């Protein structure tokens, strides 16, 4: 199974030009992915730099025939007051997952958003998709944590860890379905999980280290790149080519974590350092 994680900044490349179709073409050039996990996909935010299209989730579905496309919206705002008469979309900003694998349960989690008056912020979300992967069922979560507020990032890491413990509990103690037709389905979920995204947390930071702490009742998370490149420091994943937005220098803040039970299935994890199709670099993961 081949997975790509990428903050695509609504299809905006390092030169500031927006073309989501070009970004997707670059992703397919880099790897023949089975699962594509994206952050900063928009709907109705045409005023953003480079002017993205009205509905990038629809663009994803049109550009990836044979894939199922799912979304989880974090920020969900009305159109600007001056534009409401034009019938524009609500302004939505979030994560997307596209896959050609069979999909079971899909869950959208709103992440904690504790008050932090000193920092601009937005509601953040995690999209969880349960897949029938070649090596067995697993859950893939794609997320994007708060940029400005450490308080909020730490709360969001804690929430991701609680979600993993919850899933491990369902795996160990599933409830039967009420019937075959209704929404009260079998609650079984695999404990095995991939959690990927833009964590806005530097490699080795407090939030990063907390993500890797032991998890009572569940296999803990491991960093796939570090696991497959022992003793090495990961290359930067943001600000490599875009020196305007990242004037303080490059940063390693995008990660793919997996539960410890998947360690033996890790085959390859690479950070592509050449593409300039976003202000972030994509991460490529391959599982046996």
Question: Where do we find the tokens 């280290």?
Answer: 209
Residue 180 covered by a domain: no
Residue 63 covered by a domain: yes
Number of domains within the chain = 1
Q: How far is CA 94 from CA 119, 210, 250, in A?
A: 19, 24, 23
Give dist(CA 24, CA 282) in Å, integer: 12
Give dist(CA 249, CA 243) in Å, integer: 7
Beta bridge partners of 5: 37, 283
Q: Structural domain of residue 11, as residue ranges?
A: 2-173+186-287
Residue 21 covered by a domain: yes
| Regions in the chain scoring below 50 on pLDDT | none
Give dist(CA 200, CA 208) in Å, integer: 9
CATH number at residue 13: 3.60.10.10
Q: In this predicted structure, what is the pLDDT of residue 84?
A: 56
pTM confidence score: 0.96
Residue 41 covered by a domain: yes
Give dist(CA 199, CA 144) in Å, integer: 6
Residue 52 covered by a domain: yes
Residue 13 covered by a domain: yes
Q: In this predicted structure, what is the pLDDT of residue 260?
A: 98
Residues 6+ apart with CB under 8 A from 84: 78
Residue 264 covered by a domain: yes
């Amino acid at each position: 199974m081949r997975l790509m994680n990428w903050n695509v900044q609504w299809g905006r490349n390092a030169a500031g030009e927006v073309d989501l179709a070009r970004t997707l073409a670059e992703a397919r050039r880099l790897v023949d992915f089975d699962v594509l996990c994206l952050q900063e996909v928009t709907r109705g935010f045409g005023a953003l730099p480079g002017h993205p299209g009205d509905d990038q989730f629809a663009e994803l579905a049109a550009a990836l025939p044979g894939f199922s496309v799912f979304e989880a919206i974090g920020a969900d705002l009305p159109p600007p007051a001056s534009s409401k008469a034009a019938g524009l979309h609500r302004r939505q900003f979030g994560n997307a997952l596209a896959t050609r694998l069979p999909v079971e349960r899909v869950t959208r989690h709103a992440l904690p958003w504790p008050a932090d008056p000193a920092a601009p912020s937005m509601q953040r979300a995690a999209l969880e998709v349960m897949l029938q992967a070649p090596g067995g069922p697993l859950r893939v979560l794609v997320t994007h944590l708060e940029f400005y507020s450490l308080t909020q990032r730490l709360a969001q890491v804690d929430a991701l860890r609680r979600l993993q413990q919850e899933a491990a509990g369902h795996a160990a103690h599933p409830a039967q379905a009420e019937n075959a037709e209704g929404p009260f389905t079998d609650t079984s979920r695999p404990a095995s999980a991939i959690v990927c995204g833009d964590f806005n947390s530097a490699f080795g930071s407090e939030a990063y280290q907390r993500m890797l702490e032991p998890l009572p009742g569940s296999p803990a998370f491991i960093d796939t790149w570090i696991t497959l490149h022992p003793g090495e420091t990961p290359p930067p994943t943001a600000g490599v080519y875009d020196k305007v937005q990242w004037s303080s220098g490059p940063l390693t803040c995008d990660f793919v974590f997996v539960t410890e039970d998947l360690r033996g299935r890790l085959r390859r994890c690479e950070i592509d350092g050449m593409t300039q199709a976003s202000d972030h670099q994509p991460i490529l993961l391959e599982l046996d």
